[in-house]
Amino acid sequence: MPVITEIEDLRQLARRRVPRMFYEYVDTGSWTESTYRANESEFQKIKLRQRVAVNLEHRSTAATMAGVDVRMPVALAPTGLTGMQHADGEILAARAAEAFGVPFTLSTMSICSIEDVAAHTKAPFWFQLYVMRDRDFIERLIERAKAAGCGALVLTLDLQIIGQRHRDLKNGLSVPPQPKLANLLNMLTKPRWCLGMLGTKRRQFGNVIGHVKGVDDMSSLGAWTNQQFDPRLNWGDVEWIKKRWGGKLILKGIQDVEDARLAVETGADALIVSNHGGRQLDGALASIEALPAIAAAVGDRIEVHMDGGIRSGQDVLKAWALGARGTYIGRSFLYGLGALGEAGVTKALEIIHKELDLTMAFTGNTRLTDVGRSILVPGTYPLPGV
C-alpha cells in the first residue's frame, strides 16, 4: 500500500482499482474539458500571505453550513453513480461524512436509495433533486426525502440538458450503462471491485427503479431517463418545489450574478456557485473565478457556497477568503471511495482538514471565522466585476 498524503495519491490508486468507464465518468469534463481543468488551475494562481510570530494554539476550523455545525466548511457533493465507484458507495461515503462531522449529499441518480442511506446513518443527510418531466415522481421523491429526515434539499438548476462528454460517449457510459466489450474486459482486471459488486444487491438506480410506473429494472430505465430531464425548468418551478419541500433549500449551479439575485428572490437558504464540475458548459468561468462577484452581490442576503476544483484544504481556505461560506468536494471524495472504500473517504477528509488547518495557521489565524481576503496576495485573486 503506498503512503497516501494528498488527494492525488487517492486519485492514482482509484484509477488502478476502478473500471475505466466508471473512473473516467468521474475524471472527465465536457467538450475540450477546459472548464474542468480551469476549476483546478485557477486556484493555483491565488497566492497566500505568510504571517509569523503569531500564537497559533487552540486553532479551530469549525463553521456552519446552512445552519448545520460542521468540523470544517466542506460537504460531500451529490454525485451520480457513486455506488459504481465502490460497492454500496453512497452508504460508505455518508457514514464517513457523518463520523467526520460534515454533510453528505445524496444524488437523485445514486445507486443506493434514500432509504438505504437513511437506514445506515444517524445524522440527517442532504438530498439533491433533479427536476424531471414526471412531476408526480418528483413529488414522491420529495416526500421520500422528508420521510428519511433529510436536512436540506439541494436543487440542481444546470442539468436541464446534458453536456456532451466525449469520454463517456466513447465508453458507452449512459443511463443505464451499456459497456462495450473492451470495458467488460477491463472490469475483469479489477478483481477487488468485481468482488465488491458481487457481494451487494445495490447495483441499480435505487431512487428510480421500482418507484416509477413501468421502470422495474435497468433494462426499462434507459427510455424513461432519456426523456425525463426537463428543459422547461424555470424559476417558477423553484417556487413550487420550495413549497412542496418546506425545509432548507439550496440552489446549485449558479454562475452569474443575475441568476444569483433571482436565487435570492426565491427565498432559498443558500446557493452553490457551480459549473457542474466542468461537465456542462465548457468555456464557462471556473467556479473560483465566478465566486467573488456573486458573493459581493448577494452574500449579505443568502449564504454563498461553491464547488468545483477543490483538491486540498488550501483550496477550501481560498474559497472561504473570497466569500464562500461552504464548499463541496465531489471528485476528491470519489477518488478516496474508489481507492479504499469508506476508509478512503475518511482519508480524503482528513487530508483536506489537515491542509486547511495548517494553511490557516501559516496565514496567522487560529479561527476560520476570522479569515478574510486579507490572507491573499493582492493581484493574484479575482475581484468582483474584473
Active site residues: 276
- Give dist(CA 349, CA 115) in Å, integer: 25
Q: What are the residues whose beta carbons fall under 8 Å from the beta carbon of 119, sequence distance 6 or more?
A: none
Cross-strand partners of 64: 69
Angle in degrees, 0-180, between the axes of helices 313-321 and 34-45, rounded to the nearest 10 = 80
Pairing of strands 105-106, 74-76: unpaired
Using the Cα atoms of residue 198, residue 75, residue 151 and residue 217 in order, give the sign of their dihedral: negative
Closest CA to 51 of 355, 314, 356, 363: 363
C-alpha cell at 305: 457556497
Per the listing, cell 430505465 goes with: 221
Packed helices 313-321 and 342-362: angle between N→C axes, nearest 10 degrees: 50
Rg (CA), the chain: 20
Helix-strand-coil split of the chain, %, nearest 5:
45, 10, 45
Q: What are the distances in angstroms from CA 241 to CA 69, 227, 236? A: 25, 20, 9
| Cβ-contact 324, 331 below 8 angstroms | no
The DSSP 8-state label assigned to residue 324 in this structure reads -
Residue for grid cell 423553484: 238
**Pair 157, 252: CB distance under 8 Å:** yes
Q: What is the largest CA-CA distance in the chain?
A: 67
- Tell me the C-alpha distance between 193 and 170, whole Å: 22
Q: Are 288 and 263 in contact (CB under 8 A)?
A: no
